[in-house]
Structure 1
């Protein structure tokens, strides 16, 4: 484990007592890689992992690919949510990659991808993310994609589809963040500023806690450990999330720039979705017990708004925000149903 407590003892000729100094050895890229590898090996499916270079201004996206040889079918491209990484798709990869290639990458500022300094303008931040996805597609030599995004990733893949509809065979936002339009009073906005961490580091407690951060993560996110208990009976998953988030908070700051008070988006997607080209099929997947700011009814509203386009909404019972991990069998079956006729 990379995060350890090292105790150094200093002698003092004038004093018999010992002086101790706590030293924090921070998370390393090697530790994150090892933890991710441990998780992905449980998939029991060969995969390729590589950094895809996007050019000097965009850095690199860490990418994993399963079943790359089945190139005749439109590939899945999975995009994780806030504070996450590619390994959290571990319960979905094996069933889905049997049907077509499966790609997943760490968003800029998260996981093992480059941690750039983002602009402070929300439109510019969103544009940089969209440009990185498009550049990644070009480098991967993909013509069209079944584009799947969870939470923050759901917001970004929808924004991408608005700009590059020709590249999206089917759009699947999963419990997507940033869709509802919250009309908040000034007092609520002020309160929200405190709780959403306008300093751009909503996970900063993990870093401030130093050597105790990992213990905090393991104790406060036992729900994540439980979601993956069929794969691991230890803290592997929470360790992975910890090491994803104790590095420079590039992605956190970008998310903060895009966020309004109380966690809503400054540019809510429900106000922009009508700009989506009508021939882009959209399927929403929600957990019945998700967070209030996600609001599954938004998917149904969009279905009404786009009555002349293909829009479907699936709500999975006994699932919260991490619907793909809470009910993986149901989620995977829905995914296969959506894509059964897509070549």
Structure 2
């Protein structure tokens, strides 16, 4: 039996399984590629078949199953049996961050002989308890000892990930004077607690809202616990989607919103009806099938906004709606779990030093294997293929335009006040599978909202208008742009942070002069 697909080929014959490997440079733009069934003399160990480009009939070299899942069964079983503590795996990864010292009772003042050329900095790791049963957020924070905190940066990870993935950003970003950094694992993910997830709402719209609130209410409770009036939020992928939802529900709390390859921006007419691209046609599959070289050289960030749509296979819709996630498979396969994870980690991190890649693999497996919780919200938020049930493009222009809650949102006459816009920055890798066209469309909607306020807003709104939007493309990077090209990502982040702090200091100085 032969089954062919445009970007991937599965051949089942006597009962061997054949996969086609995506081409490193042009996997996104390759036209229909077909692989013939294997001859009787082919080596049975070589079961990974290569794509054919549209202008060539020659096959790529065949690869063995060991290339698809490079970790051996013995190594996989050993890692599974060792059952490394997830917090220990996180600690080992974060120990690679240079200069930062763990906060202790003895180093809360900057020592005169500090080896940190950017000012003495300390980190803390703790669980922040929230209300209710089994609700706590895993927090990693960095502060500059002996300096006044002017601004706070909060970092949120993406789907199924954790705060350890930002290990290449913590040191460079905390060089910025006047800033304190917080990184959080979202509720039900990473090393935060994993309470049972359930949705009681009956309608689709109410289910979306309830699923969003499950995450963003915990973020707001954390903010209250930390006594932060406001903060700059940098959020990746699913974290970016939830960051927008948070800004809409809790106005006045975000000073600047930085969305790193956010999921769920563009509208898709099939997202509600579940008519979506097949897995081979869905951009999301590239996160699991393409290695870092192909991600960087695919360069689809400025590609067409509309991809061909096909009805999603019934089995995939069933698995998605039944919450059979990739992490469910990792948990169910027991000793094979680490080997399955290696099929992703070996491609995603193959551009990194071996020690980095090994620690990231261990960390990823340690959080992937934990009890299912927040991942079960995904079918309520996203359709198969990573399109949002409630796309951000239809509501992002409301960010920074909500009525402020009392008492922060009342004029002298007691009239409710609205937010007057916040700066929003959207970053994509130039080889990102998340299409930047959605970001550019969102930018236009945000700029139109600013123009409307300047034309029709109240005198107060016009005077205090602060809305801004821009899209930044990070070169030589994919969806995990902060890992792929940390130098450029950190450079843009530092520019945004410096701008935010300078504006905050200017406003404080103006307010002091007015009071005097």
TM-score (norm 1): 0.87
The answer to whether the 8 Å contact 1:200/1:257 transfers is no
Q: State the SS of the aligned residue for 2:350.
A: helix
Deviation (angstroms), 1:221: 2.2
Q: Which residue of 2 aligns with 1:238?
A: 361
Deviation (angstroms), 1:305: 1.3
In the alignment of these two chains, the number of paired residues is 319
2:439 is the alignment partner of 1:299: yes
* Alpha-carbon spacing, 1:304–1:216, altered in 2? closer, same or farther (3 Å): same
Find the aligned partners of 1:5 and 1:183 in 2 and give their Cα distance.
44
2:384 is the alignment partner of 1:224: no
Q: CA RMSD in A?
A: 2.2
Any residues of structure 2 matched to 1:131-280 within 5 Å, and which? 131-184=217-270, 187-188=275-276, 190-191=312-313, 194=316, 197-203=320-326, 204-229=328-353, 232=355, 235-276=358-399, 277=401, 278-280=420-422
* Alpha-carbon spacing, 1:216–1:164, altered in 2? closer, same or farther (3 Å): same
The answer to whether the 8 Å contact 2:134/2:194 transfers is no
Deviation (angstroms), 1:164: 2.0
The answer to whether the 8 Å contact 1:193/1:261 transfers is no
Q: Which residue of 1 aligns with 2:185?
A: 106
The answer to whether the 8 Å contact 1:165/1:280 transfers is no
Q: Which residue of 1 aligns with 2:110?
A: none
Max Rg structure: 2
* Alpha-carbon spacing, 1:194–1:71, altered in 2? closer, same or farther (3 Å): farther
Find the aligned partners of 1:228 and 1:243 in 2 and give their Cα distance.
20
Q: State the SS of the aligned residue for 1:91.
A: coil
Structure ranking higher in strand proportion: 1
Bigger drift between 219-228 and 96-105 goes to 219-228
Find the aligned partners of 1:209 and 1:58 in 2 and give their Cα distance.
26
Question: Deviation digits for residues 217-267 of structure 1, max 9, x if unmatched?
Answer: 12332133325427x255210111111111111121112221123221111
Deviation (angstroms), 1:80: 0.3
Q: Which residue of 2 aligns with 1:119?
A: 198
The answer to whether the 8 Å contact 1:151/1:177 transfers is yes
TM-score (norm 2): 0.58
Question: Deviation digits for residues 193-230 of structure 1, max 9, x if unmatched?
Answer: 70672221311221121111102212332133325427
Find the aligned partners of 1:43 and 1:272 in 2 and give their Cα distance.
38
Find the aligned partners of 2:267 and 2:237 in 1 and give their Cα distance.
15
Q: State the SS of the aligned residue for 1:170.
A: strand
Q: State the SS of the aligned residue for 1:166.
A: coil
Find the aligned partners of 2:198 and 2:341 in 1 and give their Cα distance.
29
The answer to whether the 8 Å contact 2:188/2:194 transfers is yes
Deviation (angstroms), 1:274: 1.9
Find the aligned partners of 1:58 and 1:155 in 2 and give their Cα distance.
24
Q: Which of 490, 495, 498 is the equivalent residue of 1:332?
A: 490
Q: Which residue of 2 aligns with 1:21?
A: none
Q: Which of 466, 469, 491 is the equivalent residue of 1:311?
A: 469
Q: Which residue of 2 aligns with 1:320?
A: 478
Q: State the SS of the aligned residue for 2:321.
A: coil
Deviation (angstroms), 1:167: 1.0
Unaligned runs of 5+ in 2: 1-74, 102-122, 200-206, 277-310, 402-419, 451-466, 502-516
Q: Which of 92, 103, 111 is the equivalent residue of 1:38?
A: 92
Bigger drift between 100-109 and 200-209 goes to 200-209
